[in-house]
Structure 1
Amino acid sequence: MGAADSGRPVGEDDGPRLRTLLLTDLAGSTELVEKMGDVAASELFREHDSAVLELQRRWRGRLIDRSDGLLLLFERPIDGLGFALDYVHALRDLGQSRGLQLQARAGLHVGEVLTWNNSDAAIEAGAKPMEVEGLAKPLAARLMQLARPGQILLSAVAEPLAHRAARELGERGEHLLWKSYGRWRFKGMPQAQEIHEVGEVGIAPLRAPASSGKAWRDIPLWRRPAALATEALLLCAFAVGIWYLTKPQPAIAFNERDWVVVGDLRNLTGDARLDESLEQAFRISLEQSRYVNLLSDLKVRETLQRMQRSETTAVDRSLGSEIAQRDGARALLLPTVAEVGGRLRVSVEVVDPRTQTTVYALSADGKGIGSALASIDKVSGQLREQLGEALQSVEKTSVTLPNVATPSLDALKAFAVARKVMLTSRDREQAMGLYRRALQLDPQFALVHADMADVYSSYGEVAKAGEERRLALSIPQRLSAQERARIELLLQQYGAPGPYFRKADEYLALYPDDYRIIGRLGDLQWHHLNDFRLAEASRSRAMKPQAERREVHRYGLAIALLGQERYDEALTHFRGANQGGFTGSGEMHARVYDARGQHAEADKIYFASGEGRNGWKGEAGVVTEIDRGQWAAATEAARTWEQQANAANDTAESLRARAAIASLAVMSVRPDASREVVALRDATRARAKEVDAIYPPASAELRLLAGLLAAYGNDAAMVADALQGVQGNSAVGDYPTVFQLQQAVLAEQERLAGKPQAAAARLRPLAAKDTALVVVHWALMRAERDAGNVEAAKGQTHWLATHRGRVFAENTTTDVLRFFNVAVSAEASRVERTTGSAIR
């Protein structure tokens, strides 16, 4: 046969590459020539070669060899299958025009091959222009030799890849019949191979190949004569040993903690229960690995938005590969579920996102829909091994899906849809209804409680979130090790900081790429420790391409820089977060300009943000008006804020607004100042249990603030009352910022008692640290002044006047000191401009 090779030339000594091989053989070609005669046969073969050339171009194949058959290479299995199917039709048409039955055997396989060009001298001597070698070639040849005339046989590697892409064949692809003929052994090959046929009803044989001395069915041991059992076992052991010795490395250079993107599951069964549920199950199963990192659903949706694509766009081969390259993922996983030969098959393709070619595919079969979860576990385990994870690690960290999630597919479906709702429409009521439905179907579904806790937490409902997390932990056998550790850590975040930080260090040592936890750690280092350097380090650690809500981390990093007066760097990251799509909060971005005294620019930034469209209101408005010396406007904003909080029955916000009102009365030296401080104290006493259930140190911090305000007005009795009110409150010792506040109030008590030296000695070690609160510097300034240490007092005044970034960024647990902080800083600035002495 004389079809020309239209494929592109191959460089000499190309390295091994993964290719699709198709081998065909024209059945009875010798008898055909004898029957037709040389002249008629030659004309037939010319038409045959012309048809092959056209099909080769259509399906992007490369013809390597031709004699009585063909050897072709393709980049993708679906192209090889398309060629084979069209070749069957072409032979049929050629034969019918001559009253002949022309049929070919075909074998299709995917594997690594080595290709090189022969020299011109070798070609002149009769050699082929190109050579193809590799273990994949003999297996494709065995398949072709086993096939019946007119039959297309596929290997277990090629079949799922071609099956998944069958839609590319158009309407014809929907009518193909896919059959499995089980495992076969070939002479000279140590391992059994699973064989499949693909064909069109009425054209293809669609029946099992016939056994021969070169190929036979792999019959189970229990069906063999007893005398062969020992021999088979020895052969199996030998084959396994050879496999382990010659086990190839992954075709993708995958390293520990590399990332993968999971594409949308392709459900070919028609059973809607499997649509979202199996994709979620695959994620849950694979997430148990500490070796493989999965790009989260939320991160994938964020990347789609950046690509200006709808969040609901299906993540297929092309789109998934682009997402992987954008976010630094090493591989794309494309899962499929299909019914093959009466069995449910779960398979996954591992795709190289750079070339969009399938590196390898894995699959597992089971009986009926009930086998799906077990098959996912099996495929997940195989995948982890294939990517390089040690078998012992897979076995150690894996919990079967029915145990780590749920045995109920209906419950899993409700759970998966709820997650999707929260990702897309964020319809809280719909999502919570679906979560509750999942619990009705499986009351032991612990992950549902964990998800509900995350929803409550995102809406600030701390008590409800804690309750759901405790419910999840009450079913520990239904949680993976990582999920259990994560829930324990999240539950502990509202307790004493010391144990939380130790627990966080332990967790991140095991799971260093959990950027949600890293971001939360940065938050608590900011709130509980007042440590902006630590917060910067944590936020920087979360600034990875794979991190979900990356621009939120960037915004947090900018706040940490603001707190260190690194204004230019802070602006760079605030702008970057804004450009990256984080536009909801603009206050801290604006505070960079307020810290520099550029209030018009601050207004411009804030009013352009989501929360600032109505101007400076509520808490942000109070802080702004205090800083600009507009006390009446600040008081009006605080009272409006309190009214809104009371109307919403928000205890925490109501008390914070009350703290702002009392601070304003004291700092502006109003006649009702003492009354407002008493009102703050009484409101705190009345609602202490309620507010401490949300934030354990809240009442202690509010009572100490009342004492601080009393000290500003030199009310020694009220200072003593505040200190008495926090005696025995464990929050004072447990929370570093609350402890610092207590020390400042104690120092003020000592100063008012005529012991300024003792007050200064108490505060100097605290003030020497970068983590010192603004109120520590303020109280030390007053103690040094009263002790006659004029230069030391001026030094603290200078600190208050020049650390404007810290004044705006400092945010303790209940964030009630910021009104006092901005007032004393503004006063220090005025004093430095006028007299250079310490403020009162």
Structure 2
Amino acid sequence: MNEMTHRPSIEAPQLRTLLLTDLCDSTTLVERIGDVQAATLFRDHDRLVLDLQQRWRGRLIDRSDGLLLLFERPIDGLGFALDYVRELREMGDARRLELRARAGLHVGEVLTWRNSDEAVQVGAKPLEVEGLAKPMAARLMAMARPGQILLSAVAEPLAHRAARELGERGQHLLWKSHGRWRFKGVPDGQQIYEVGEPGIAPLRMPPNTPKAWRDLPLWRRPAALAAEAAIIAGIGVGVWFATRPAPAIAFNQRDWVVVADLRNLTGQSVLDDSLEQAFRISLEQSRYVNVLSDLKARDTLARMQLKPDTILDRAIASEIALRDGARAVILPTVAEVGGKVRVSAEIIDPHSQTTVLSEAADGPDLSSALESIDTVTARLREKLGETVKTIERDSKPLPQVTTSNLDALRAYALAQGLYAKRDFAQALELYKQATDLDPQFALSWIGQMRVHNAYVDAPAGVAALRRAQEVRSRLAPREAMYLDAWVARFDEPARATDKWLNLAKLYPDHEAAQSNAAIWTFTDNRFNEAIQFATAALVPQNATPSIDYDTLGRAQLAVGDLPAAAKAFDHAISRGYESSLRRRAVVDASRRDFASAWNYLAKVPLDDRHGFLERTSVAIDQGKWDQARQYASAGFTLAKKAGGLDSRSFLLPLAVAEWGSGNTEAALAHARAAADQALAALKAGAGVTPDAQDDAEVAVAAGLIALRLGDGRVADRVEAELSSDEALASAPSVAEFRSVVKAQKLRIAGKPRDAINELLPHLNGRERYQTRVALYHAYRDAGDVDAAQEQAKWLQARRGQAYVELECSNCLQALNVMDSRITPASA
């Protein structure tokens, strides 16, 4: 009975966090520094442990060379381990000693009991802890490398989820999975993880030990590998596949990644935006890896009901990846480690938020950071499955394709962010600041061109384009092709569309390539191709789908698929693209639902001069000529005030409205004025102005209207002027309109058959609306009623094309709509 009263009372099993640590090579350390210094060191060590115990609410169970502690929560155990590893390292550095500890963290049930006071007095521990969780934590600790903190599969998700409680440091932690391991005496394999701080954590696979080894598939075990090697050596094939680094995540060519915000641990603010932008540019050179744009990531943040400036950390970036169909997250970091600048990056599985790959590169100072980024991104691309050959082929060094001036790079990065927010004025200032700092910064010249284009300031846009052209060698291959396509718009109009098609085919997931290919094929009346490219652009990763929905709707409207066009425009409108209101109106006008068309046009602001084009055309479609004149006049007044191309092209709908109203002289006067002004603009710019092709189209269209009104002199003068500019005259739209004018002349001269022969070569499925109108007139004059009726049926079936053909900014829309009123009966 007396024996039972002194037996320790075992408490019920409790779920606790166990942390075991070991001071590496402690015996060797004592021999090296001597007993006296060792005693001083361990006294300071004990003070550190006591302080950390109190800070993290831990209970010390046992200690010798190592520690055994219990915690209520895994995050407290992790906080202790992180501080212990770091401060022990600093303690050693202060003494010029290498002090490293290894640690194992596990969560499980333990049994505890208190020893009697008598037992404690003779050396027993106050509290005993036993249970399977204890040897499990010990196995983790024993297999860890110096400075490494290993976590079990039970502890990792609990600690990871609560990492925010560690404050800012919690956002900078590195997490890495080391796969499945087997432990002696434990029947099932266990997933092992590592966590640590940049520059401190080894982030390396632990070595196998007699009590812990990697749980490899049969084919990867040593005996099997030896057999496989013999087979490979015997047949002499497959060496490349055996040696190629396999991705640690299921990543395929053209999969997407989300780049999280760069963690700048250097305290150098110049790196905040510049290196993040540089990291994106370096990675975006790949044709194997697709990078989700920052604009799309911020759009997804809005859908997550988070602020646009929310930091894309591991958790947030992983959520974005899951929402937008990205396969991986890349988390870049820059830090100062041992007097060097280290650039590192982790590849994170967004499903588990664990690190599956990591790479790092060190440089002597800040100027080496760009080179280090190139090194890191190349290694990441290779580990994701891209071949070394393609990496070398598609990549240029960052200083060559951006700038070596970090201040210029930061200005460019800030400008990119402002451009994405459509703050064009501030973006332009920063783009200019970047080129002031480095005049050879080609990307920033392209940025200025894009801003000027957004402002519809074509001359300034071309000026920036020419500056970019001068330093074309300072662009990555994709951006160089993008520049070439824009240059062709002005220097070789006939080849511009093909340039965009080549870019789209080579980079099928590049949003700008697909969008521009859709727009330019639409401009060339290649409507079915435009539908294909616009559809290809409308992937979940698209940052500006409204523009591509608008292009898709226009192409579908042109081929007569009105329900699909209405749906596409509705998508664009719902995303805030107001220009689609005009196009949505003409869908209903094309099917003669004019009441609905006017309802949509009522939503178009009255200060939007382009809205008056549709108002004029819909009034013409209804035969309301006085109303059409009023709308055409109002639109021209706004266009004249704005100046530029519109001040000339808006004369043509005004001429058509006057024509329909019976005011032939006024109509002729407007047509002549349009031709005069367009030819003057071409002469002033020597045929290479931003609006050269549009001005040529305006001039030919003005000549066509005047010709149909009975004055052939305007058309003759336009032809004489244009024939001297071979490049401009051979642009597909200009060449076709010249044929239409020539055919109308032949018909008026009593040669309708010759007119038909002039027009028939253009019937290739992409012909302009006026080509079919001219054919109708020629067949009618030739007395071929059946053929004339066929043309009239085509004109009726393609009323949508009459409204949306894009030449000279819809300058022929009013004429096309007037001619769409031709019916088979009238033939």
Same fold, TM exceeding 0.5?
A: yes
1:415–1:493 Cα change, 3 Å: same
Asked if structure 1 preserves the Cα contact closer than 8 Å seen for 2:432 and 2:448, the reply is no
1:299–1:173 Cα change, 3 Å: closer
Q: CA deviation digits over 1:148-189, x for unaligned, max 9?
A: xxxx5459xxxxx99999973536959x999xxxxxxxxxxx
1:132–1:482 Cα change, 3 Å: farther
* 2:675 aligned with 1:681: yes
Residues in 2 aligned to 1:163 and 1:687: alpha-carbon distance in whole angstroms: 69
Structure 2 counterpart of 1:455? 451
Asked if structure 2 preserves the Cα contact closer than 8 Å seen for 1:703 and 1:726, the reply is no
Residues in 1 aligned to 2:537 and 2:386: alpha-carbon distance in whole angstroms: 25
2:623 to 629, 648, 654: 629
Asked if structure 2 preserves the Cα contact closer than 8 Å seen for 1:256 and 1:292, the reply is yes
Structure 1 counterpart of 2:517? 521
- Measured after TM superposition, the shift of residue 474 of structure 1 is 2.2
Asked if structure 2 preserves the Cα contact closer than 8 Å seen for 1:564 and 1:805, the reply is yes
Structure 1 counterpart of 2:657? 664
Structure 1 counterpart of 2:636? 642
Residues in 1 aligned to 2:717 and 2:101: alpha-carbon distance in whole angstroms: 93
Mapping for residues 354-503 of structure 1, pairs under 5 Å: 354-424=351-421, 426-428=423-425, 430-503=426-499
- Measured after TM superposition, the shift of residue 562 of structure 1 is 0.6
- Measured after TM superposition, the shift of residue 623 of structure 1 is 1.9
1:651 to 637, 644, 657: 644
Structure 1 counterpart of 2:311? 314
Gaps of 5+ in 2: 1-9, 27-48, 60-64, 87-98, 107-129, 151-156, 175-193, 202-208, 210-238
Structure 2 counterpart of 1:569? 564
Residues in 2 aligned to 1:356 and 1:399: alpha-carbon distance in whole angstroms: 31
Per mean C-alpha deviation after superposition, the further-off stretch among 381-390 and 757-766 is 757-766
- Measured after TM superposition, the shift of residue 86 of structure 1 is 8.6
Residues in 1 aligned to 2:195 and 2:312: alpha-carbon distance in whole angstroms: 28
Per mean C-alpha deviation after superposition, the further-off stretch among 294-303 and 557-566 is 294-303
Mapping for residues 170-185 of structure 1, pairs under 5 Å: 170=166
Per mean C-alpha deviation after superposition, the further-off stretch among 655-664 and 726-735 is 726-735
Residues in 1 aligned to 2:85 and 2:646: alpha-carbon distance in whole angstroms: 75
Residues in 1 aligned to 2:70 and 2:380: alpha-carbon distance in whole angstroms: 29
Code of the residue aligned with 2:708 in structure 1: it is Y
Asked if structure 1 preserves the Cα contact closer than 8 Å seen for 2:261 and 2:311, the reply is yes
Code of the residue aligned with 1:168 in structure 2: it is R
- Measured after TM superposition, the shift of residue 690 of structure 1 is 4.7
Residues in 1 aligned to 2:19 and 2:335: alpha-carbon distance in whole angstroms: 24
Structure 1 counterpart of 2:142? 141
2:342 to 328, 342, 345: 345
1:746–1:355 Cα change, 3 Å: same
Per mean C-alpha deviation after superposition, the further-off stretch among 414-423 and 718-727 is 718-727
SS of equivalent residue, structure 1 residue 586:
helix
Structure 1 counterpart of 2:4? none
- Measured after TM superposition, the shift of residue 321 of structure 1 is 1.5
1:299–1:172 Cα change, 3 Å: closer
1:277 to 274, 284, 303: 274
Residues in 1 aligned to 2:400 and 2:81: alpha-carbon distance in whole angstroms: 45
* 2:806 aligned with 1:805: no
* 2:554 aligned with 1:559: yes
Q: CA deviation digits over 1:605-631, x for unaligned, max 9?
A: 33345x479899532322222222222
Structure 2 counterpart of 1:237? none
Residues in 2 aligned to 1:197 and 1:510: alpha-carbon distance in whole angstroms: 41
Code of the residue aligned with 1:712 in structure 2: it is R
Mapping for residues 104-253 of structure 1, pairs under 5 Å: 106-108=101-103, 141=142, 143=144, 153=148, 168-170=164-166, 249-253=246-250
Residues in 2 aligned to 1:72 and 1:253: alpha-carbon distance in whole angstroms: 38
Q: CA deviation digits over 1:257-303, x for unaligned, max 9?
A: 21111111122222211111111111122122222111112222232
SS of equivalent residue, structure 1 residue 107:
strand
Residues in 2 aligned to 1:615 and 1:312: alpha-carbon distance in whole angstroms: 35
Residues in 2 aligned to 1:370 and 1:165: alpha-carbon distance in whole angstroms: 37
1:368–1:244 Cα change, 3 Å: farther
Structure 2 counterpart of 1:225? none
SS of equivalent residue, structure 2 residue 386:
coil
Structure 1 counterpart of 2:733? 737
Code of the residue aligned with 1:625 in structure 2: it is A
- Measured after TM superposition, the shift of residue 198 of structure 1 is 7.8
1:662–1:549 Cα change, 3 Å: same
* 2:694 aligned with 1:698: yes
Gaps of 5+ in 1: 9-20, 30-47, 59-66, 90-103, 114-125, 147-151, 156-160, 179-194, 207-213, 215-241
SS of equivalent residue, structure 1 residue 254:
coil
Structure 1 counterpart of 2:589? 594
Structure 1 counterpart of 2:93? none
1:476–1:684 Cα change, 3 Å: closer
1:707–1:629 Cα change, 3 Å: same
> Size of the alignment, in residue pairs?
690
Residues in 2 aligned to 1:518 and 1:762: alpha-carbon distance in whole angstroms: 34
Q: CA deviation digits over 1:470-517, x for unaligned, max 9?
A: 322322443222222221222213343442233334333432221212
* 2:823 aligned with 1:815: no
Code of the residue aligned with 2:789 in structure 1: it is K
Residues in 2 aligned to 1:166 and 1:337: alpha-carbon distance in whole angstroms: 24
Identity in percent: 36
1:332 to 320, 329, 348: 329
Code of the residue aligned with 2:369 in structure 1: it is A
Residues in 1 aligned to 2:254 and 2:422: alpha-carbon distance in whole angstroms: 31
Structure 1 counterpart of 2:526? 531
Asked if structure 1 preserves the Cα contact closer than 8 Å seen for 2:283 and 2:377, the reply is yes
Asked if structure 2 preserves the Cα contact closer than 8 Å seen for 1:327 and 1:546, the reply is yes
SS of equivalent residue, structure 2 residue 650:
helix
SS of equivalent residue, structure 2 residue 702:
helix
1:724–1:574 Cα change, 3 Å: same
Code of the residue aligned with 2:826 in structure 1: it is S
Structure 2 counterpart of 1:709? 705
Q: CA deviation digits over 1:755-807, x for unaligned, max 9?
A: 1122223224434x322222112111111111111222222223223321121
Code of the residue aligned with 1:663 in structure 2: it is V
Residues in 1 aligned to 2:423 and 2:571: alpha-carbon distance in whole angstroms: 25
- Measured after TM superposition, the shift of residue 245 of structure 1 is 6.2
Residues in 2 aligned to 1:414 and 1:280: alpha-carbon distance in whole angstroms: 10
Asked if structure 2 preserves the Cα contact closer than 8 Å seen for 1:346 and 1:372, the reply is yes
Code of the residue aligned with 2:317 in structure 1: it is G
TM-score by length of 1: 0.72
